[in-house]
Amino acid sequence: MTFGDVATVLSGLLVLRDGETTDDTVDGFVETDSREIVPGGIFVAKPGETTDGHAFVGVARERGARLAIVEHPVDDDITQIVVPDAVEALGALASHVVAAVRSSGRLRVVGITGSNGKTTTKNLLDAVLSPRAATVAPKNSFNNAVGAPTTMLRVTGDSEFLVSEMGASGPGQIARLVRMVTPDIGVVLKVGLAHAGGFGGLEETFAEKSAMVTSLPDTAVAVLNLDDDRVAAMADLTAARVVFFGLADAAHVRATDVDSDRTGTRFTLVLPSGEARPVRFRVLGEHHISNALAAAAVATELGVPLDDIVAGLETVTRAERWRMEVLGGRDDVTIINDAYNASPDSMAAALKTLAVITPPEGRRVAVLGTMAELGEFAGDEHDRIGLLAVRLRVDRLVVVGTDARRLHISAINEGSWDGESVFVETADEAYAYLSDELRAGDTVLVKSSNSAGLRHLGDRLGELFSW
C-alpha cells in the first residue's frame, strides 16, 4: 500500500518525511512492539498502561519501519499518520487488508472464540491446514483488540486460510473483532467463567461469546460445541448453517472409544459422512478432545480429507507452551505444567485429567495457584475447586499464594484429610517443599492463572526430574 492509501483508509493526517511522497509504499508487517519491526513495515504507537509506544517510534525507525501510526506527531525522522485512536486505526487497517485479499476469492477466514481452548484449537487447526495451503494463524494467544488485527495483517495475496482467535475480557470486544473480518466459519468452544469479573456472570459471557455467530450470514458456517448447553443454544441465534461437534451421539463431528493415560489420549474421530479413523492424540487431557473435534469440524468444512486431518492432529504434542505441557520423566515422576491460564472450568478439567491418568501405584499431586479475573465469583469458585480436589482423591495438594488460600481452607475443612493440603506463600517455598516431598511414580499438576507465575515453578520441577 502507498502512504496515501493507508492515510485514506484510516482517515488520518499524513505527515511526510522529507523526500518522501504519498506514492511511496510500505510492504512489511504491522507491529505494536518496536522490537518486532522488520524493514518496510508499519509501527503502531499504541499508548500502554506502563509505557507509551510513541516513545519507541525512533527505535522502530532504526529497525526499518517506513511509517508510524501515531495519536500525536512525534519528533522523529519518519513519515507519520496521525489518528485519534491508534488501536482503532489498527483494526480499521486490518479490516481493509483482509477485505482486499479476500476479493481475490481465495482467502477463507475462521474465527474461534470460547472461554477455554481457543489457543489449543488454533494450533491444531494450523497443524491441519498449513501443510495444504498458506495459512495465517496467531502467535501465542494473540486474540485481543491488538493481537487479533496484528495477526490479520499478516495475510498476503498467497494466503488461503486466516485463523483468527477472538477473545474478550469485557463486553462488546468479540463483536468488534467479528466486524473486522466476518468469518466464513465461526467457532464457539465453551461458555464458562473465565474473565467473569469483566463480564458479570455466565449469562453475560454467553451474550459476549454468541456475538461470534449472531451476525454470520447464511452463507457461513457456525461450528458449535454440542456438549456445552449454552453453546448449543447459539444454533437458534444464527442464520449460518450449524455444524455440531462433541462427544454426544447427535454431534456431526464426534469422538468415540476415548481412552487416556500420561502419554495422551486415544479416540476414534467420526465425521458427518460416517467416515471414522483412530487418532493417537498426544495433547494431554480428555478436555482437549473437544478442541480436536472443533478443529476437525472446521477442516472438514474446508475440504480437508479425513486422513490429512488425523495426520495433522497427531503431529501436535502439546496444547501450547505452559498448557498441559508434560515434563520430567526421571524416577517415573511426570510434571504437567498447565499454569498459563486458569478458569474454574479449565482448573476442574485439569484436576480430572490428573485423576484419570495417574497410575494406581502413583500419587496425584496438585500444585494450584489463584484463578484470576473472577471478580465477585472468586471466593465461591476457589471453594469449589478445593472441594473437587478432595473428592477426586488428590493425594497431596499444595496451594501457592495468598489469593488462592481459600482453596486450601476449603480442602482442609472438608474434614476427610489430615495434612494432605499444604499452603505456602511463594513459588520458591513450594519448590523447596516439593523437592523433598515428591517421590517415584508421582504425577504432578501445576495449575494457575498466568499472574500467579507458577509456570516457572512447573519448569523448575520439570528440570529437577528431567533425564
User: What number of other Cβ atoms are within 10 A of residue 49's Cβ?
Assistant: 5
Helix (H) or strand (E) holding 209: helix 202-214
CA distance 333 to 224: 37
Bridge partners (DSSP) of residue 422 are: 398
Contact 213, 238 (CB under 8 A): yes
Contact 208, 168 (CB under 8 A): yes
CA distance 160 to 150: 17
For residue 463, give the C-alpha cell: 528440570
Query: Is position 192 annotated in a ligand binding site?
Result: no
Contact 345, 115 (CB under 8 A): yes
Query: Is position 143 annotated in a ligand binding site?
Result: no
**Three-class SS string for 417-445?**
CCCCEEEECCHHHHHHHHHHHCCCCCEEE
Residues 6+ apart with CB under 8 A from 225: 114, 188, 189, 190, 231, 232, 244, 245, 246, 290, 294
For residue 443, give the C-alpha cell: 504425577
Query: Is position 209 annotated in a ligand binding site?
Result: no
| Sheet strands (E) in 198-312 | 221-225, 241-246, 253-261, 264-270, 276-281
CA distance 179 to 215: 9
Contact 373, 196 (CB under 8 A): yes
Residue 113, helix vs strand vs coil: strand
Query: What are the φ/ψ torsions at residue 25 (nearest 5 degrees)?
Result: -115, 160
Residue 190's closest CA among 349, 318, 375, 386? 349
Residue 17, helix vs strand vs coil: coil
Query: Is position 79 annotated in a ligand binding site?
Result: no
| Sheet strands (E) in 105-184 | 108-113, 135-136, 161-165
Query: Is position 315 annotated in a ligand binding site?
Result: no
Residues 6+ apart with CB under 8 A from 158: 134
CA distance 312 to 124: 7
Binding-site members for ATP are 114-120
Binding-site members are 114-120
